[in-house]
Amino acid sequence: MSNFFARMARGLTRSREGLGDRLAEAAAGRREIDDAFLDEVEEILVTADLGVATAMRLMDAVRNEIRYTRLKDPARMWEILKTTLLATLRKAEEAVPPLQTSHKPAIFLMVGVNGVGKTTTIGKLAARYRGEGKRVVLAASDTFRAAAVAQLTTWGERTGAEVVRHREGADASAVAYDACEAAVARESDLVLVDTAGRLHTNVNLMEELRKVHRVIGKVVPGAPHEVLLVLDANTGQNALAQGKTFLEAVPVSGLVVTKMDSTAKGGILVNLVETLGCPVRFVGIGEAVEDLTPFDAEAYVAALLPD
């Protein structure tokens, strides 16, 4: 097993115990696939936070494949389930272009509610791209929370990224505007725009987010090139509600799913992709900088399901 696959497997240990091990137990001792076994598998998928609709769709596809191949061995069913899960994840990936980092500067607008790890995610992304030799600008557009500016400044010092900030309570879109202008003037490679951790139910704050999005496009036509929605895997079904509201406000191009290492219901990731129609760009599987990693659907499925 490669180091990457091994790290993914370690990061998803709790989810594997909550899903993969339970599926393996369900198959243990069974000689053939029957309706009772398939119903049990479906129930396990639901309780792993794949959600009822997603679990039913996946199992419908699995049942059709089993009928077509006349498969009898329960242990071999995981091959079909893995293929079906991969198809779901890759369908979302194929629906949008790859991560847009080729623009100069490429501008990423980071959105999400409080507590999902948004500012930390920005810091880790800055570390990743600085490690690749890119010039990175961080826009401290979360002007409502003084700690957010301080936290982002610390990440800037740690990674060598430039931080553009205004006074506390300043206009968030003005900070984003100045950061993008600075990036253009200094020929920077990437701008990561932090935003206030707004409640997805707050209409005024969501309107402000739309304004930040519009202002960025005035500085760099076509920007932001990515709108990344950060979601906490531990929030389960609430993450879906957050995602739906943010999608109504701004054109989200990808998801960052954090804290996957601390949940036993890692199936929420599949539910998010299936329901929101957005690919996962990055996934957090630990506290270290390198534990925020580009999402690999094959590694995720391999780490989650029985062999």
Total structural domains within the chain:
1
Instruction: Indicate whether 196 belongs to any domain.
Output: yes
- What is the value of pTM for the model shown? 0.93
Instruction: Indicate whether 218 belongs to any domain.
Output: yes
Q: Where are the alpha helices (DSSP H) in the chain?
A: 3-11, 13-15, 21-27, 35-45, 52-69, 77-94, 118-131, 146-159, 172-185, 203-219, 237-249, 268-276, 297-304
Find residue 77's DSSP bridge partners. none
Instruction: Indicate whether 217 belongs to any domain.
Output: yes
Instruction: Indicate whether 39 belongs to any domain.
Output: no
Instruction: Indicate whether 53 belongs to any domain.
Output: no
User: Going residue by residue through the chain (307 aa), what tens digit of pLDDT does each one get?
Assistant: 456 667 777 888 888 888 888 888 988 888 899 999 999 999 999 888 888 998 999 999 999 988 888 888 888 888 889 999 999 999 999 988 889 999 999 999 999 998 899 999 999 999 999 999 999 999 999 987 778 899 999 999 999 999 999 887 789 999 999 999 999 999 999 999 999 876 655 667 788 899 999 999 999 999 999 999 999 998 888 899 899 989 988 999 999 999 988 887 788 899 999 999 999 999 998 888 988 999 999 989 988 887 7
Instruction: Indicate whether 262 belongs to any domain.
Output: no
The rounded distance, in Å, linking the Cα atoms of 285 and 147 is 24
Instruction: Indicate whether 159 belongs to any domain.
Output: yes
| DSSP conformational letter for 97 | P
Residue 202 is predicted with a pLDDT of 64
Q: Which long-range contacts (CB under 8 A, 24 or more apart) does 31-36 make?
A: 31/74, 32/72, 32/73, 32/74, 33/66, 33/71, 33/72, 33/73, 33/74, 33/77
Instruction: Indicate whether 83 belongs to any domain.
Output: no
CATH number at residue 214: 3.40.50.300
User: Taking Cα atoms as reference points, which of 228, 225, 118, 114 lies closest to residue 180?
Assistant: 225
Instruction: List the domain range (segments joined by +) for residue 146.
Output: 106-252
